[in-house]
């Protein structure tokens, strides 16, 4: 490549009348031009001016058919709320379809490309390169990697192609695998658990005889539900009609003489052959010979409401305690057997009510796996995992953009996929939880970001000076009024229910009926003129339900609420202007510098319209300094 990026930028900045050679590669399914055999995907090469590649190029010695009459334009824009999915729209690619006409103007022979209207183009790939007709092919830049929506006949002996980006590929179900077993939901989509903690999910019964429930699909050897030396059970809590089938106790002492363990202040309620596992909570060791993570069984001998003894096996010999307890070991009492590697658990008996549980999401590795916690990690796993019906590969994802998104948005999230959710739905739910956006670039890479106002430390990727802005084109497209408050709700209750168990009090009943736990982020911005409410148009939107998941505090939810409040604490603006073709170098979310009498400063690109011929357009998000004119406005009654 002899044309550097800087030289390419200067070439784009030149007059739009400079020759712009657009080369297109279109894919179709069917017979190739030299054969009637339908043999898979084939390609055609067309352009808006004559061009042939070199012998060392890929493709080599390829002649591009000079038939393009109108090149497509590209418009990309953040969503209306500057969050979630960015929108894409494409102009149409129009090519000639020369026909043979008689002296009277009547059509004698169909167009030379008439058969193209019958070929299978829909959903196939289209690529476009842009460069100077005198350049070698490696010096062209790929400016479009998208999909053909359909082919159409615009009349006038022409053929048209409608184009889209790859986002249409994500409107497909996340899961196609279905539940097995003899449960009532056999054949329904397999559940999938992602994230830090999932509260009160409804697992799926897959074995009615042995009472086996599935939490999530897994991939043995690669992924398993999170577990470690201290958190060995998944699920870590199981309920029947809201009442825990197992509960946690602290041991307050051991009596070596009688081999008895004591719990206080609560009653344990164990019965013979209750399975127990032990782990530490502040202590240095368990009383010997107890081992962390090993199964033990309560035996009938010495069993009271507060004291109990354990055996190494069902009906086995009493464990002999040889030393005093050090610290306070923590008992996990379970009425189920968990199989984290396979995403299932088994109840000790047949339940009479609805079974729900709390669990961890999928993770990598064994022993102490790396959990998939953040929105970016969940997205990456869903898009690249063999567990899902993914339409993309890692090569379709902008790795640098995703890595930056993961670092920028470290909040823990959690999502339980049970319905026929699409990939696009998953991406929307994840990025909206952290105030982000997603979309495809022209060159076909999936990108992510978060809208933040640039500060003095921000390095712009491009600078627009006054001469770059077409005369009288700079205008304020939209004024975004401030918000008087921001409210976020997190840590979803995945199965709101009205428990019937008599042992639950009114608070617990109300708790399980709520769609979220009581982890709420509220923020009142210290905004424009010190009080956002002084702006009569300041918005007070309804609380936003997010997928933020923090099982111990609402700190992450509150932090995100504060960030959004700060971003929207003053009137923000979107300016738009016409400029040269250098916008082909920009991406949605890029920080740019603008120097113009209507606005000067740093801004964020939120919209682009790129054209090969004519002017392109840019839209930027910024905060313009508030002005309070006094001397320019005459007082009442003063001429």
| Chain center to CA of 257 | 58
Three-class DSSP labels, 550-596: CCCCCHHHHHHHHHHHHHCCCCEEEEEEEECHHHHHCCCCCEEEEEC
Distance CA 125, CA 71 (A): 16
- pLDDT (tens digit per residue) in 455-481: 888 999 999 999 999 999 999 999 988
Report which of 238, 268, 267 is spatially closest to residue 349, judged by C-alpha positions. Answer: 238
Q: What is the pLDDT of residue 430?
A: 95
Q: What is the pLDDT of residue 249?
A: 59
For 340-350, b where at least 16 C-beta lie within 10 A, e where not — what string? bbbbbbebbee
Q: What is the pLDDT of residue 323?
A: 46
> What are the residue ranges in the chain where pLDDT is below 50?
323-327, 527-528
Q: What is the pLDDT of residue 253?
A: 63
β strands within 137-189, DSSP E:
141-152, 158-164
- Contact present, 63 and 25 (Cβ < 8 Å): no
Distance CA 382, CA 429 (A): 13
pTM: 0.81
Instruction: Count how many residues are written for the chain.
Output: 639
- Contact present, 61 and 45 (Cβ < 8 Å): no
Distance CA 399, CA 99 (A): 47
**Between the CA atoms of 624, 626, 630 and 631, what dihedral angle is there, to the nearest 10 degrees?**
-30
């Amino acid at each position: 490549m002899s044309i550097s990026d800087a030289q390419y930028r200067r070439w784009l900045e030149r007059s739009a009348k400079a020759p712009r050679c657009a080369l297109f590669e279109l894919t179709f399914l069917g017979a190739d031009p030299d054969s009637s055999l339908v043999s898979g995907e084939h390609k055609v090469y067309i352009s808006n001016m004559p061009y042939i590649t070199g012998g060392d190029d890929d493709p080599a010695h390829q002649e591009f058919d000079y038939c393009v009459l109108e090149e497509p334009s590209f418009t990309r824009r953040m969503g209306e709320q500057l969050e979630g999915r960015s929108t894409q729209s494409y102009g149409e690619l129009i090519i000639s379809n020369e026909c043979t006409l008689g002296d009277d103007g009547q059509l004698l022979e169909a167009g030379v490309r008439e058969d193209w209207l019958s070929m299978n183009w829909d959903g196939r790939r289209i690529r476009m390169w842009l460069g100077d007709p005198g350049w070698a092919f490696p010096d062209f830049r790929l400016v479009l990697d998208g999909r053909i929506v359909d082919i159409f006949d615009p009349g006038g002996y022409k053929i048209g192609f409608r184009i889209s980006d790859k986002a249409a590929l994500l409107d497909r179900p996340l899961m196609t695998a279905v539940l097995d077993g003899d449960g009532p939901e056999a054949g329904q989509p397999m559940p999938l658990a992602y994230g830090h903690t999932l509260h009160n999910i409804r697992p799926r019964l897959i074995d009615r005889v042995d009472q086996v429930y599935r939490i999530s699909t897994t991939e043995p050897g690669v992924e398993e539900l999170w577990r470690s030396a201290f958190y060995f059970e998944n699920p870590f809590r199981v309920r029947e009609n809201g009442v825990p089938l197992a509960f946690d106790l602290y041991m307050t002492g051991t009596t070596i003489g009688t081999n008895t363990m004591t719990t206080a202040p609560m009653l344990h309620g164990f019965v013979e052959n209750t399975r127990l596992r032990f782990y530490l909570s502040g202590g240095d060791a368990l009383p010997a010979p107890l081992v962390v993570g090993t199964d033990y069984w309560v035996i009938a001998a010495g069993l009271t409401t507060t004291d109990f003894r354990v055996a190494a096996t069902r009906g086995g010999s009493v464990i002999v305690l040889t030393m005093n307890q050090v610290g306070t070991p923590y008992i996990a009492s379970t009425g189920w057997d968990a199989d984290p590697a396979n995403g299932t658990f088994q109840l000790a008996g047949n339940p009479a009510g609805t079974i729900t549980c709390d669990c961890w999401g999928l993770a990598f590795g064994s022993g102490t796996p790396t959990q998939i916690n953040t929105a970016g990690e969940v997205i990456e796993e869903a898009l690249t995992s063999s567990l899902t019906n993914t339409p993309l590969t890692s090569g379709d994802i902008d790795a640098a953009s995703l890595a930056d998104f993961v670092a920028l948005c470290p909040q823990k999230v959690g999502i339980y996929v049970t319905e026929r959710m699409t990939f696009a739905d998953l991406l929307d739910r994840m990025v909206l939880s952290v105030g982000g956006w997603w979309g495809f670039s022209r060159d076909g890479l999936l990108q992510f970001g978060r809208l933040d106002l640039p500060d003095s430390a921000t390095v712009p990727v491009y600078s627009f000076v006054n001469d770059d802005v077409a005369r009288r084109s700079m205008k304020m497209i939209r004024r975004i009024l401030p918000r008087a408050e921001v409210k976020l709700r997190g840590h979803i209750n995945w199965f709101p229910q009205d428990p019937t168990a008599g042992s639950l009090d009114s608070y617990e009943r109300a708790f399980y009926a709520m769609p979220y736990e009581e982890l709420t982020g509220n923020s009142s911005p210290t905004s424009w003129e010190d009080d956002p409410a002084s702006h009569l148009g300041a918005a007070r939107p309804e609380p936003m339900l997010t997928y933020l998941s923090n099982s111990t505090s609402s700190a992450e939810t509150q932090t995100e609420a504060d960030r959004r409040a700060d971003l929207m604490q003053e009137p923000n603006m979107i300016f738009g202007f016409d400029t040269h073709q250098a916008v082909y170098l920009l991406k949605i979310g890029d920080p740019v510098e603008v120097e113009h009498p209507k606005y000067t400063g740093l801004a964020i690109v939120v919209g682009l319209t790129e054209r090969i011929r004519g002017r392109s357009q840019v839209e930027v998000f910024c905060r313009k300094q508030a002005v309070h004119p006094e001397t320019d406005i005459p007082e009442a009654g003063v001429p």
